[in-house]
Chains A and B, each alone.
Chain A
Amino acid sequence: QSVLTQPPSASGTPGQRVTISCSGSSSNIGSNTVNWYQQLPGTAPKLLIYTNSQRPSGVPDRFSGSKSGTSASLAISGLQSEDESDYYCAAWDDSLNGLVFGTGTKVTVL
């Protein structure tokens, strides 16, 4: 029942730039901030980007986030093998009165 739409997969070679989109609506991304999470296989998610574009300490500056209207994006520049993971966007939804997650994107490093 994901409310935010992401592409199921993305890929790139080492060193390339990969962008993941997250499409929502006026009640979620259009009204509230977006966070991004990285989930390595078999592990709990980890906060990657908060408040649309802020990086927590310890997150490499290769990761960047942006938001425009009812969509958001996560960019990974200088792709590395350890970036192979699932990525999720999330935002509060004022209509549902709850947190909504994206459908998830699996990033593969070729």
Chain B
Amino acid sequence: EVQLLESGGDLVQPGGSLRLSCTTSGFTFGSCAMSWVRQAPGKALEWVSGISGRGDATYYTHSVKGRFTISSDNSESALYLQMNSLRAEDTAVYYCAKAIQYSKSGIDFWGQGTLVTVSS
């Protein structure tokens, strides 16, 4: 059974930093691309960032480029998102998500999400 468990969400001030983690099990971690997707309160889903199975290719939505960094540790079957220079508009539930195979194939499994609140 595929399981994805996010952690690290918190209340942080504008301009602050936060690191999200996602521990996984139930599949061969390095064989699938992974993504972070967020959902602001009452809003639609928004893809944030993705990484290839081997970790050699990363992708970001325009609004987080230069501020967020996605990484993975295949030995730990874990996914991370380092978030710097946080803004109020980054407030959302952040989901860790597993790709069907490649990034282009889309997502098949989701974690339960972790809440990030950016506010003074």
User: What residues of chain A have their CB less than 8 Å away from a CB belonging to chain B?
Assistant: 1-2, 32-33, 35, 37, 39, 43-47, 50-51, 56, 88, 90-92, 96-104
In angstroms, Cα B110 to Cα A56, docked, is: 14
> Given contacts A1-B63, A44-B113, A99-B35, is CB(A104)–CB(B106) below 8 Å?
no
A50 touches B106 (CB 8 A): yes
* Residue from the list B103, B105, B110 in contact with A45, Cβ < 8 A: B110
Contact between chains at A92 and B104 (CB < 8 Å)? yes
Question: Among the listed A32, A50, A98, which residue makes an inter-chain contact with B61, where contact means beta carbons less than 8 Å apart?
Answer: A98
B63 x A92 contact (CB < 8 A)? no
CA distance A37 to B109 in the complex (A): 10
Q: Is B59 within 8 A of A97, CB to CB?
A: yes
Determine if B47 and A32 form an interchain contact, defined as CB atoms under 8 angstroms apart: no
> Do residues B44 and A91 form an inter-chain contact, with CB atoms below 8 A?
no
Q: Does B32 contact A (CB under 8 A)?
A: no
Given the known A-B contacts A98-B59, A99-B35, are A88 and B44 also in contact in the complex, defined by CB atoms under 8 Å?
yes
> Is B14 in the interface zone, CB < 8 Å from A?
no
In the bound complex, CA of A54 to CA of B67 (Å): 36
- Tell which of B60, B62, B111 touches A44, judged by Cβ atoms closer than 8 Å: B111
A44 pairs with B47, CB closer than 8 A: no
Report how far A26 CA is from B9 CA in the complex, Å.
Answer: 36
- The listed residue (B44, B50, B105) touching A2 by CB distance below 8 A is B44
C-alpha gap A92/B50 in the complex (Å) = 11
Which residue in A44, A88, A102 is a CB contact (below 8 Å) of B112?
A44
8 Å CB contact of B50 from A45, A99, A101: A99
The answer, yes or no, to whether B108 is at the interface (CB within 8 Å) is yes
Distance between A65 CB and nearest chain B CB, rounded to angstroms: 12
